[in-house]
Structure formats: C-alpha cells, structure tokens
Chain A
Amino acid sequence: MNILLMILSAIISLVTGMFFLGLARKIMAMIHWRYGPPIYQPLIDVIRYFHQRAVSHGFIFDLGIIISLIGSLLVVFFLPLGNISSFSNSGGLLVILYILILSPLGLALSSGESANPNASIGISRKLILTLSYEFVLIIILLSLMSQYQTISLQEIVMLQARKVWSFASWKLILPGIAYLLILPAMLGFRPFEIAGASQEISAGPSVEFGGKYLALNTINHGLLHFITIALFVNLFLGGGDLFGIFDSISGTFWGSFVSLIIFLIKMILIFVISVFINAVFPRLRLEQATKYILYYPLSIAIVGLIIVVAIN
C-alpha cells in the first residue's frame, strides 16, 4: 500500500510540476498579449533535451544533478497530498527541511564541477538568497511547530482540519503572510529570479547543462515549484480540507480523491498569484533582495513567533 502511495504521489508531483511550468509560460504569455505556447510545451522541451547528445564535465557533474532530483522527489514522499501520505510519519518537518537542502546542494556540486564562473556565481547567489529566506522559513515553521506542539506535518494538517486553517487563525496569520512574501523567492520567480538570471549570468547554475542534464534540471524545477506550494497549502491552507464539507466521506477512496482535487486546486490558485507577481516586477539585485527579505518578512515572522510563544 505504501509503495503504491509512493508511486502515486511521485506521479502526481511530476505531472503537476510540469503542468505548473507550462501554466506559468501560458499565463505570462497572456499578460504579454500573446497567445503563448501549448501548456505541454515544457514536456516537449524535456523530450527534446533528452534526445540531445549532452556534454559532461565529469562524474560529479552527472551525480550532482541526480542527487538533486532524488532530493526533490524524496521531499514529495514526506508531504501529505490531500489524504495521500507515504511516510509523513518519519521525522516530520525537520526531515523535510533537511532533505530540501539536498536539491540545491546537488545542483551546486554538479554546476561547480562544470568549472564555469557563471555557474559558480549563480550558485553563490542561490545559496545566499536561500540563506536569507531560510531565516524566515525556519521561524515560520518554528511558530507552527510551537503552536501545534508537534514536528509532524501530517498532524499539523489534521489539526488544522479539525480547528481552523492556520492562515485564518489569528495567531498564525503573521507567519502566513511572511510565507506568502517569501514565496516568490522560494519559487525563484521575479523579483527574486536572481540565481538563474539569464540576462546577467547566462542562466547561472545550469549554464553548462544541456541534453539530459537540462531535462533533469527542468523536471527538478517543476518539482520544486510543486514542493514549495504544497508545503504552503499543507501548512496554512489545511491541505486537502475544505471547511470540513467532505468530512462525511473521509477515509474512503472518494474522500481521498476529493481531498486530492481540493489540494491541487488550492495549489493552482497560489501558483497563479505567484505568476502574476512574476509578471509585474523586474529582477532585483541580490543585496536588495536579501535586504528586503531580512527587513519585512523576517520582522513579520518574528513578531508572529513571539505572539505564538507568548500565548502558549
């Protein structure tokens, strides 16, 4: 059963990830007054990459990108998707936080081996940006974990379904806002599209990636979109719950199905909002982005955490 769930969640995340990539391009095209590519264009791209004869710079160049994808897929198993959760009960949010490191680290190793300074600059930017939003993310997760007194994501989702969504509960609204503010940074969207800025450093970390490396990188990109938003939906929007309307069929097959659909719809909503933000902002410089994150979202998150701790 567990293995079936794993396969299912892997497929859902991969498909949704690719869909998100296509959706982003389509929405951006619409905002540009264009018709835009078909929604499955990223898939075509990936197939094309896969059939190209890539260049490799060494063993770690291959291994790093594989590690990166493993890291991303692994996180998916720890995330409850609606009622589907493969092993959300082994280590909880702390493990998720740690496995989330794997993906950038693998990418960093791989592009570091490619010996291109553009890639190195991209990685350096990515790590610094990640550090700065991680300040906020950690505080947000800590306030949730302190509030619900558990480190298990599954339990947080369940408690929300029983009480009120975190985003709507007054104690956790500040962390929720902080999360929304750093969401574009986590997704790598403008104004925080700094690591892969193609006009500045030629796509940054993926500068030497071509062929199947780029294919894996693209898939990974989609997965990271999926993970970031799924985490938000799980933490703040109650996962697959919709005001308890479908409580009566929970536990059954249809209950799981409905919760999955609700979950995906919530994700798409959040994603579309992020794409809109992406469309109307230019790219910031790294220092400005870091400063912004460390001023506004961080202070909001700290106030949120203080409120949570003080009330408990």
Chain B
Amino acid sequence: MRKLEMYFGPQHLGMVGNFSITLQVEGDRILEAEANPGYLHRGFEKLMEQRTWMQNFPLVCRINVVEPDHIELIYAMGVEKLAGIEVPERGKYIRSIYCELARVASHLFGLWAYANMLGFDTVANWAMYHRDLLLDLFEELTGARVYHIYIRPGGVRRDFPAGFEDKIVKTLHKIGSKVPDYNSTFFENKLFEKRAKGIGKISLQEAINMGAVGHAIKALGMKYDIRKIEPYAAYDQVDWNVPTRKDGDAFSRLLAIRDDMIESVHMIFKLIDKMPKKGDVYTKTPNPFKWRIPDGEAYVRCESSRGELGLYIVSDGGLNPYRVHFRTPSYSHGLTILEKALVGENIADVGNIMISFYVVAPEIDR
C-alpha cells in the first residue's frame, strides 16, 4: 500500500496566505493533516524588543495583513494600560467605528477567499470590489490603503475629516444595497449550501478544548465575544447583539460571518449617531524617543474579526518593551483545530475549511 502525501500550499491557488498543510491522503479522504507554518516567521516579538514603544506601531500592524487595525488597537491598549493613559470620549468612538469598518472589510476579504475557493468568481469579484470601497475610506482617513497606523496610545492619530461620517454612511449603504444579491447568489444558493454544509464540523466540547474563538465558537451557539464580555473603546455605549449559529460547520461559520458583518454595519450607524460631535481624539503622550513606561505587565484583549485577540506585554521600565506576545485567533484555529477538523474530510474541501476558520498565516507565524 502506498500512502499519498499531498501538499496544500504554500504555492497553491487554493491557499490564502503563505501557509502549508501536509495531508496524508487515501483516495480522496484525508487521513491525517499536519499544519506546517513558519513561512512568514519574521520574529516580530523579538524585533519589537529592540524598538521604542512608538516605533513598534509600523511593525505591529503587519502582523495581520487583512485587518491590521485590531492589532494596532490591541498594542495601543496594552501601552495605555501599562502607562495608565485614558482615551478621550470621541477618540473611543472613532476607534470603534474604525475597527468595525475594518471588520467589515476583513469579512468581505474572507468572503472573497471563500467564494474564490469554490470557484465562485462572480461573488469573489463583487466582494473584493466592495472591500475596495472601504479601503478608499481608510485611504482618505489615514493616507494608506492597507497599513494605516491610525491608532496611537491615547486615542487616534487625527480626527475625522469634515463630512467623513456621511461618506461612511453612504458607502455602507451602497454595500448594504447589494446584500440581497449576495444572499441570493451566495448564502442562499442551494449549491453553496450543499458544498458548505457538514464540512469541517467540530463539536462544542472539542472547540472549547482546543481554544476556538470568534465565529468558530459563535457558530456553535456560544456568545463568546470580547466586545460584550469586557467592553473596550465605545462598545458599551451602543446596543448590539452577538449573532450565533448552531451547527458548527463551515456553512454556519460563513453565515455567522455574514450576520456579524451586518451587525457591524448597524453598529457603525448607531455609533455615528451617538458620537460626540466635538472633542479631543487623543491624549498627549511624552516624546516618543524618551518615553519610558513604568515597570509592569499586562494582558489586554479585544475582539478582532477572527476572534479573541490578546496581548501579553511586559515592561521593565525601559525605552523598549521587555517582552510582547500576541495571542492571535488564527493560532489555535490554524494549528490545532484545523488539523483536527480536516481529518476524514474530502480533499476538495481543504481550502474551504481553512477559510471558514479564517486562518491568516502571518498571524500564526508573526
């Protein structure tokens, strides 16, 4: 008997990100899957120990390419916690709006990836186009399409330009008007349902044991969302729900993503309505080159679009962090859960399952 060892990635059209899964295959069934990360390992946390607190901002956003904003946020929150800085009210609102926009953009990227994996070019193209509209907003706000470096300790870098809120609303309405199209061609398409239902299924017990977060656990009916549990920024100011599903397969995860996206859009509208119209957006911080943060350690967490994002940060009172360690949601998803979820599946579904867990390779490798 000859066993087949197949490589899914790194150079593979079905692989989003630089990641590799080694599959032991018999026929078209996967007997064993081994995640093989490290293609993007740059030693971020080591590099950050050699840079000053503010210099690290350009670095941290590169930990996750798809949604750098939450990583910026978590790092800023960590620094704030260590240094004991408070964020002004308007700054909090802007942070929330900005992060929710990033969440929508990231979900649209995920939609592109999933649709692309099924060979569903049409939806993929639409999703990518709509994401681009959001990136235009980011560009106007921050001057960059992808890596914005907008959030800083104590708030955000600059205030919204005039009329920006209206632009956000307009753009979101434009995307929202296409949601029925997405529903009819993608989410409610019988063939998509056939394809996605029942694959990559994990039970609640397994999910808890393997540290699933984000919509991987929301798709199992558990309302585990840091925005609710431990509200940060302005999430406790408005009223919103955590959408959940029951089945825990790729289909329910995808629907959880869609619901999350719609919920985010509604939340942005509410936040814009409730936002104080004037005020500071950041608190002043010392000269970044001489900024020493007192001795201490902190663990902060927030809900990125992939799930719980954490940062363990240690300061020894110097110019640089002593140790930073990011707890990224893709880490458990991509290394532990994926290996379990792939066993017994069809080789046609590897990419789909991977995307449905929202695995982003740079987050794992850091």
Contact = CB atoms under 8 A, between A and B. Distances in A.
Direct A–B contact in the complex, CB atoms closer than 8 angstroms? yes
Interface string B188-225: 01011011000000000000000000000000000000
Given A32-B121, A33-B126, A117-B6, A282 B191 contact: yes
Interface string B61-82: 0000000000000000000000
B192 A200 contact: no
A284 interface: yes
Contact of A282 (B25, B126, B195, B346): B195
Contacts of B349: 285
A283 interface: yes
Contacts of B126: 32-33
A34 interface: yes
Contact of B192 (A193, A203, A282): A282
B193 to A, nearest CB: 10
Interface in A30-57: 31-34
A282 B347 contact: no
Contacts of A203: 13
A284 B121 CA distance: 14
Contacts of A198: 13-14, 119
A283 B194 CA distance: 10
A282 B28 contact: no
Interface string B269-311: 0000000000000000000000000000000000000000000
Contact of B348 (A34, A190, A286): A286
A149 interface: no
Given A31-B122, A282-B195, A288-B194, A200 B14 contact: yes
B119 A117 contact: no
Given A190-B119, A202-B12, A285 B191 contact: no
B117 A199 contact: yes
Interface string B324-366: 0000000000000000000000111111000000000000000
A295 to B, nearest CB: 13
Contacts of B13: 198-199, 202-203
B47 interface: no
A284 B6 contact: no
Given A117-B6, A200-B14, A279 B121 contact: yes
A280 interface: yes
Interface residue range, chain A: 20 to 34
Nearest to A190: B119
A284 B28 contact: no
A262 interface: no
A284 B122 contact: no
A50 to B, nearest CB: 23
B4 A282 contact: no
B108 interface: no
Given A117-B6, A197-B348, A199-B117, A284 B191 contact: yes
A255 interface: no
B237 interface: no
A280 B185 contact: yes
A282 B6 CA distance: 24
B348 A282 contact: no
Contacts of A282: 115, 118-120, 189, 191-192, 195
Contacts of A10: none
A250 to B, nearest CB: 43
- Which of B6, B14, B121, B351 counts the most chain A CB atoms within 10 A? B121
A279 B181 CA distance: 14
B116 interface: yes
23 contacts: A32-B125, A32-B126, A33-B129, A117-B6, A118-B6, A191-B191, A197-B119, A197-B348, A200-B350, A200-B351, A202-B13, A203-B13, A279-B122, A280-B185, A281-B120, A282-B120, A282-B189, A283-B118, A283-B119, A285-B348, A286-B28, A288-B194, A288-B195
Interface of A: 28, 31-34, 117-118, 121, 190-191, 193-194, 197-203, 279-286, 288
Given A190-B120, A282-B120, A285-B195, 13 more contacts: A117-B6, A193-B119, A199-B14, A199-B117, A199-B119, A203-B13, A279-B122, A280-B185, A280-B189, A283-B119, A284-B195, A285-B346, A285-B349
